[in-house]
A and B are shown apart, each in its own frame.
Chain A
Amino acid sequence: MEQIAPREAYGKALIKLGDINEKVVVLDADVSKASMTYMFRDSYPERFFNLGISESDIVGTGAGFAIGGKIPFVNAYANFLLGNAWEQIRISVCYANQNVKIIGHNIGASSGKDGPTHLPFEDISLMRVLPNMMVIEPADGIEMAKAVVALAEHKGPAYLRVGRVPTPVVTKGEDVFEIGKANICREGEDVTIIACGVMLSKALSAAEGLSKEGISVEVINLHTIKPLDKDTIMKSVRKTKGVVTAEEHTVIGGLGGAISELLGESYPVPIRMVGVRDRFGLCGTYDELHQLLGLTTENIIGCVKELINLK
């Protein structure tokens, strides 16, 4: 299966965006090689600003650019950016409702051997709780390119989650990407799997494997975690009456949390969450970490079977 690093797709998409929209400016906090914004810098040096290792400052500067009519894409490692500058994002971006795009890099287990300090599994939660904020994690490189364009077209605060490691391409060029509109990737009857990011590819593998055992799984690509596409989710869950969520992120307040909140309030059905369980990562390769944290196709299959057994 073809693989693309989300960050590479992001970097290339920014260059195209820079060409069609001259209001776009790119800010980086000394990680332009990792974030691949150096490609934008090389194409449009006058619209690229390195603010150094100053996450609070870069967010505020982004908000200033937005006041001045620009569309700033603000880049740094997700944990440092959202952790150090959460209050700046809360007030200068979200409360002020400024048109700032917050781009979190090296998400989840991306930085593998760098270990716990560099493995953000909490960023979706941190952004989800903020009013006016939108949260997006594309499934693959192809969807990443579409998300970048959509982000610039949407006026308002948004958070985009960008991974470093090449991941399988599971969407197609012709698939429609609309912010806030979940895509059904595979139709099924017995259980709904809702996934984002790299976990969508694992969800699809799980569905394929389960089909051989006669289990019919519906797979939803929830690239927009906020605002939730309640209609698509509810329609599927009313049919299957069982949900497995999958994310490269803590289940507390992330995609699993969001789905649990929705269904707990409006349509309680059994849920199993695949994701990080209230812990930090370790130093390890990307694959070792996914294994350690249970972010696997096998784990998704096991969760689906648990729900089948409850029926």
Chain B
Amino acid sequence: MHDLQPDFEQLRQACQRMRKNILKMTHRAKGGHPGGCLSAIDILGVLYLEIMRIKPDNPTWEGRDYFFLSKGHAVPALYAVLAECGYIQAEELAAFREMGSRLPAYPSNEDTPGVDMASGSLGQGLSIANGVALAAKLNGTEQRAYVMLGDGELHEGQIWEAMLSSAHYKLDNVCAIVDYNRLQLDGPLDEVKSLGDLRAKWEAFAWNVIEIDGHNLEEIYNAFLAAAEYKGKPTVILANTIKGKGVSFMEDEVGWHAAGPSDEELEKAIEELS
């Protein structure tokens, strides 16, 4: 964790840069889930640029904090932030979804520097975070495990198994973030299968719950600090977000779950972000 207050204006500019990269990637690949990337990117930006102890020039540094993108379909957002940090070059982003490239359609630890775990099959990330957090406790290190979950992903039963495990083992070095954008592939979450009172559910599972605006960089930053300081329980950050955030015609539109923008749409979106 960095000691100085971040320069939030600089951070905002970095997030806008990453938004543009996400749009370029999903435009070129004609897909790749831009909606859920744009809802997640501010959180990823704060996490990678201000919170996590990492060494981009030494991705497998033993003392690193861990991040797992359990909602693996938002991987363009992860690649954008990896490029912003310097794990990969920005030029390489053009290889997203290309056969044999280091940037496949879902996270792959075997392919991409800075990616610690494969995902793409929903529901698996929190268990992974618990495992690495338990290993850190066993080793007596201060390492932390961050995992981003999709809201629709919470339909998966494994998440709830893992929620019990994190609480049982009092994994205060685990921090889960729910990208709560309220839209999934088939439509609004509340129409497909409602999560009900999500805050009450996490609290009932003995988690420390922090609710924030997932696009307010200062709130995101403070939530991560508070999570790190909270002892005895794992913390979940329920981040209220907007799918497609930052691009007027994409915001809150379910159609942008998977599809990439056309030439004209890309141009318009980049213009809005500039």
Contacts and interface: CB of A to CB of B under 8 A. Distances in A.
B118 interface: yes
Nearest to A47: B138
Contact of B136 (A47, A58, A68): A68
Given A57-B165, A69-B135, A97-B110, A64 B129 contact: yes
Interface stretch (A9-17, A85-93, A241-249, A260-268): A85-93
B62 interface: yes
Interface in B130-145: 130-136, 138-139, 145
Interface string A68-92: 1110100000000000000110111
Contact of A91 (B124, B131, B135, B139): B124
Interface residues of A, number: 31
Contacts of A62: 131
Contacts of B126: 60
A64 B119 CA distance: 13
Contacts of A51: 161, 165
A96 interface: yes
B128 A67 contact: yes
B131 A66 contact: yes
B209 to A, nearest CB: 21
B101 interface: no
A52 B127 CA distance: 13
B3 to A, nearest CB: 26
B118 A92 contact: yes
Which among A51, A52, A58 has the greatest number of chain B C-beta atoms within 10 A? A51
A11 to B, nearest CB: 21
A60 B162 contact: yes
A67 B116 contact: yes
A97 B132 CA distance: 16
Contact of A67 (B124, B131, B138): B131
Contacts of B128: 60-61, 63-64, 67, 92
Interface in B82-133: 108-110, 116-121, 123-133
Nearest to A65: B131
A96 B126 CA distance: 15
Contact of B118 (A64, A68, A96): A96
A200 B125 CA distance: 41
A192 B15 CA distance: 66
Contact of A65 (B118, B135, B158, B168): B135
A73 to B, nearest CB: 13
B124 A65 contact: no
B164 interface: yes
B158 A91 contact: no
A54 interface: yes
A59 B138 contact: no
B127 A56 contact: yes
B66 interface: yes
B157 interface: yes
B121 A90 contact: yes
B161 A56 contact: yes
Given A46-B138, A96-B118, 13 more contacts: A54-B164, A56-B161, A57-B164, A60-B124, A60-B126, A63-B131, A64-B130, A64-B131, A67-B116, A91-B118, A92-B117, A92-B128, A96-B110
The 3 closest A-B pairs by CB, nearest first: A64-B131, A60-B127, A68-B135
Interface of A: 25, 46-47, 49, 51-52, 54, 56-70, 72, 87-88, 90-92, 95-97
